[in-house]
A and B are shown apart, each in its own frame.
Chain A
């Protein structure tokens, strides 16, 4: 059964870069789209963007200028970078499989990111 696991620092300083990695186990990263979604009390659930296994990407226009996603098929991982973070970027960050014909059908457990000096 496919599982996803987020990893990365839980604390990021304002103006610095948030970096997270999602490791896919129990299946191949190939042929799927992979997304990052965040959840915060103020903004609710927000789709950040996706990376296709081939490396193509699509980002939410609200974050496009600060977000980069990439995929490493050899490690079965995909990654998220958000530059110039502020307190508004504090959230639980989920990685998920999708969007596909079923939406987002497999999710990681989430990684809490706090932004503070």
Chain B
């Protein structure tokens, strides 16, 4: 199975700052099948990005995704208070579909 490793584990930033989250795969995956999710406490994950770079409906343009092969990045250009949450990457190109362990974005 494809293992996804996210870094950093925790990111401490202030509103207005730029956030860069990394997701590295144990083997190459098609960028068509890489997604990012946001999860807040007690809630289900919300799809942010699919196909490595395509924002889901209703997702603000401050969220962007990039990458290919084994290295993928989620960037939040200017953090807002509502963005402090846990972020997961996930690959859906090869069964079993797998998730990264998450990056917790906390307010500094």
Contact A109 B43 (CB under 8 A): yes
Q: Count how many chain A residues have C-beta atoms less than 8 Å from C-beta atoms of the other chain.
A: 21
Considering the chains assembled together, what is the distance between the CA atoms of A60 and B48 in angstroms?
A: 24
Contacts of A104 in B (CB 8 A): 35, 37, 45, 47, 90, 92
In the assembled complex, how far is the CB of residue A25 from the closest CB belonging to chain B, in whole angstroms? 15
B88 CB–A CB distance under 8 Å: yes
Contacts of B51 in A (CB 8 A): 101-102
* Of B1, B32, B43, B47, the contact of A105 (CB 8 Å cutoff): B47
Considering the chains assembled together, what is the distance between the CA atoms of A45 and B86 in angstroms?
A: 12
Considering the chains assembled together, what is the distance between the CA atoms of A44 and B1 in angstroms?
A: 15
Nearest-CB residue, chain A, relative to B44: A107
Contacts of A61 in B (CB 8 A): 1, 96
A94 CB–B CB distance under 8 Å: yes
In the assembled complex, how far is the CB of residue A4 from the closest CB belonging to chain B, in whole angstroms? 9
Interface mask (A33-44 → B, CB under 8 Å = 1, otherwise 0): 001000000001
Pick 10 A–B contacts, CB within 8 A, sort by A.
Answer: A44-B101, A44-B102, A47-B96, A62-B96, A101-B51, A103-B92, A104-B45, A107-B44, A107-B46, A109-B44
